[in-house]
Chain A
Amino acid sequence: MHGDRWGPRVGKTAFVKAWLRQKQREPLEAGSESPFPYLSISLPPQPTIKSTLLTLLQKAVMHHFIPSSAVTSSLTRMIHQCLQTTPVYLLLIDQCEHLIDRQRQRINYQLLDLVEYLIASTTTSIVLIGHAAEIEMILQASPRLTRRVCSLSRLPPFTWNRRSPETVGEYCAFLHAFDRKLPFDDSGLAEETMAYRLFYASDGYIGWTTRLIQQAAAMALEAESPTITRFCLAKSFESSIRQTPLGWQKTNPFLPEQFKEPSD
């Protein structure tokens, strides 16, 4: 499962993976013999400095043997040397919320120091990806890092506000694009009544919307249905969302014939 203990959310990880796939497809500059100049790692829960350095090194030097018995200082030297000799434009660090011990609300300063060190001593740009609240804590704890951040982009979930019709339009356009990519006949996902059901079920989180539709599509395949039916979506809601905090106390929006958004 991508995402964290609450499941997928706004789709940051999926976005970064898609961006990297796109970069891999782009032809290298003529005459360039450089390896792929982007590195990405995803921090596991409670990461240690050594495990992070080993992961980074394994990604950076791929086929070289890295002794797991190496001490942190020599691993740090190795990664520093590697980033200086091999041009790595971007180092993308996903799941940065794991730089903070959630239970103790304590920052992993050893890892934060490593990030600061890499920023200060190499020409690599670092992209931190994570939950807004934890990222804010990290930036507050590291003025050095904050000074180097040129762009802080927030990726909120979709909203549905009739007083701002563009919000409804944006979600419907997303669903329309999704429907067009599905190997089924048009399932009408972007029709407003259906779109609202999907919005209600997922709270506008792209990750949940995607999971809901993908599971419903698998069920429609099993049932040999030419479209993704409301019944498939209802079953998908029960299996993918019902047992999560997102589904608690929610009506299954795909079951009633008439499921309407509340009027103002």
Chain B
Amino acid sequence: MTTSERSQQDGEANPKQWRSMSRDKRLSLVQTIFICYPRLKALAAKLDLCAQEADRAVANQLYLPECMVIAGDPA
């Protein structure tokens, strides 16, 4: 499936069809771009796992969920 097809299926505007968009729409698209590159995908998977563990703890009060740290490197 192409990006354009996926965008349409998700109900999102296809950015490459910008000629039919208003300037405001284009600006809003630009301002909300977020790229989930592979390192972030791995991090998202860890967060998902942490959430699942906590879900287990809600069901079983004896189980202690673990915590997580996301640290950014200083400049």
- Asked whether A126 is an interface residue with its Cβ less than 8 Å from the other chain, the reply is yes
List of A residues within 8 angstroms of B68 by Cβ: 125-128, 149-153
B62 nearest in chain A by CB position: A123
- Asked whether A218 is an interface residue with its Cβ less than 8 Å from the other chain, the reply is yes
> B72–A155 contact, CB under 8 A?
yes
* B interface SS class: helix
Question: Which of B27, B31, B55, B63 lies in contact with A89, CB distance below 8 A?
Answer: B55
- Asked whether A145 is an interface residue with its Cβ less than 8 Å from the other chain, the reply is yes
Which segment of A5-13, A44-52, A68-76 sits at the interface?
A5-13
> B35–A15 contact, CB under 8 A?
no
Task: Tell which of B31, B39, B55, B72 has the most Cβ of chain A within 10 Å.
Answer: B72
Question: Which of A11, A155, A218 lies in contact with B27, CB distance below 8 A?
Answer: A218
* A interface SS class: mixed
B61 nearest in chain A by CB position: A123
A60: min CB distance to chain B, Å? 15
B7: min CB distance to chain A, Å? 9
Q: Known interface pairs A151-B46, A221-B26. Does A135 touch B71 (Cβ–Cβ under 8 Å)?
A: yes
List of A residues within 8 angstroms of B31 by Cβ: 214
Task: Tell which of B13, B16, B63 has the most Cβ of chain A within 10 Å.
Answer: B16
Q: What is the CA–CA distance of A173 and B27 in the complex, to the nearest angstrom?
A: 23
Write the B16-37 contact mask toward A (1 if CB under 8 angstroms, else 0).
1010010101110111011111
> B67–A128 contact, CB under 8 A?
yes
Beyond the given A10-B73, A127-B47, please list 9 additional residue pairs across the A-B interface where CB-CB is below 8 A: A12-B70, A14-B34, A123-B64, A123-B65, A128-B69, A129-B69, A130-B72, A145-B67, A214-B30
B32: min CB distance to chain A, Å? 9
> B69–A157 contact, CB under 8 A?
no
Which segment of A104-112, A180-188, A192-200, A256-264 sits at the interface?
A180-188
A217: min CB distance to chain B, Å? 4
**Pairs of residues from A and B, 3 with the lowest C-beta to C-beta distance, nearest first:** A150-B66, A183-B18, A89-B54
Q: Interface size for chain B: under 10, 10 to 19, 20 to 34, or 35 or more residues?
A: 35 or more
Question: Which of B27, B58, B67 lies in contact with A126, CB distance below 8 A?
Answer: B67
The 21 listed contacts between A and B (C-beta, < 8 Å) are A6-B75, A9-B72, A18-B36, A19-B47, A37-B55, A123-B61, A124-B54, A126-B67, A127-B69, A128-B68, A148-B66, A149-B68, A151-B50, A153-B69, A154-B71, A170-B38, A173-B37, A182-B29, A214-B30, A214-B33, A221-B27
List of A residues within 8 angstroms of B13 by Cβ: 183
B59: min CB distance to chain A, Å? 9
A171 nearest in chain B by CB position: B37
A132: min CB distance to chain B, Å? 4
B39 nearest in chain A by CB position: A155
> B53–A125 contact, CB under 8 A?
yes
List of B residues within 8 angstroms of A145 by Cβ: 67
